[in-house]
């Protein structure tokens, strides 16, 4: 039993390290700090539209590199934004299929809440689909999020990003599904 617990603990620590590598800190000088996910090797970062209000933002990678990012797409209705950076050797998030999620599944979130860089939290999927205040589809998780987690990854137990953390409602994290 102890060996199995140690193996599980080590597996979660490995997944957390991988997620932290692909999570960036996004700073918009007018609106504070949020998070983002390195989505592809060309330097596209996905975050929330409410994290970046202007045409650019400052981005810091987990390895300490900092650069300016241009906003290349924005969808305020969906609260998504795409940023572009130009740096070599970028780690890339593995993207999971949010259509295959199940209530009760273990999820992990990485972000930069309240100025803490690369913080990890865990929980389970509480509900999938739309809710009374929104017709949009959401991944709802019993997971502890705080300001600064917005734009960061919600990942499954395999370390695949299955959502972008967006808001907190009644102590539950709401994420935009990866699909």
pLDDT score for 129: 79
Report pLDDT digits (tens) over 52-91. 989 999 999 999 999 999 999 999 999 999 999 999 999 9
**Do residues 71 and 80 lie in contact, with contact meaning Cβ atoms separated by under 8 Å?**
no
Name the 3-class secondary structure at 12.
Answer: helix
pLDDT score for 1: 76
pLDDT score for 170: 85
**Do residues 165 and 173 lie in contact, with contact meaning Cβ atoms separated by under 8 Å?**
yes
> Using 50, 70 and 90 to split pLDDT, how confident is the model at 161?
very high
Distance, in Å, from the CA atom of 35 to the CA atom of 47, rounded to the nearest integer, reads 7
pLDDT score for 135: 64
> Using 50, 70 and 90 to split pLDDT, how confident is the model at 143?
very high
pLDDT score for 123: 96
The more confident residue out of 53 and 165 is 165
Whole-number Cα distances in Å, 9 to 24, 116, 132: 24, 22, 37
Active site members = 50, 79, 150
Distance, in Å, from the CA atom of 6 to the CA atom of 93, rounded to the nearest integer, reads 25
Residues 6+ apart with CB under 8 A from 35: 23, 24, 25, 26, 47, 51, 110, 111, 112, 148, 149, 150, 151, 152, 153, 165
pLDDT score for 43: 97
Distance, in Å, from the CA atom of 59 to the CA atom of 39, rounded to the nearest integer, reads 14
Q: What is the mean pLDDT of residues 5-19?
A: 93
pLDDT score for 30: 73
pLDDT score for 169: 87
Tokens of 40: 């592809």
pLDDT score for 31: 66
The more confident residue out of 40 and 30 is 40
pLDDT score for 29: 73
Report pLDDT digits (tens) over 92-141. 999 999 999 999 999 999 999 987 899 999 999 999 976 666 667 899 99
């Amino acid at each position: 039993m102890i060996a199995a617990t140690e193996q599980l603990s080590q597996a979660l620590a490995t997944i957390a390290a991988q997620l932290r590598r692909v999570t960036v800190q996004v700073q918009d000088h007018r609106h504070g700090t949020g998070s983002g996910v390195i989505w592809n090797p060309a330097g596209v970062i996905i975050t929330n539209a409410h994290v970046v209000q202007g045409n650019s933002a400052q981005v810091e990678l987990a390895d300490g590199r900092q650069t300016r990012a241009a906003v290349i797409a924005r969808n305020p209705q969906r609260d998504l934004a795409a940023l572009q950076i130009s740096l070599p050797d970028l780690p890339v998030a593995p993207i999971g299929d949010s259509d295959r999620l199940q209530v009760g599944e273990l999820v992990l979130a990485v972000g930069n809440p309240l100025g803490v860089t690369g913080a990890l939290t865990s929980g389970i999927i509480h509900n999938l689909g739309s809710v009374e205040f929104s017709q949009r589809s959401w991944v709802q998780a019993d997971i502890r999020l705080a300001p600064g987690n917005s734009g960061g990854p919600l990942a499954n137990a395999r370390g695949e990003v299955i959502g972008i953390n967006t808001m907190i409602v009644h102590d539950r994290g709401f994420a935009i599904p990866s699909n």
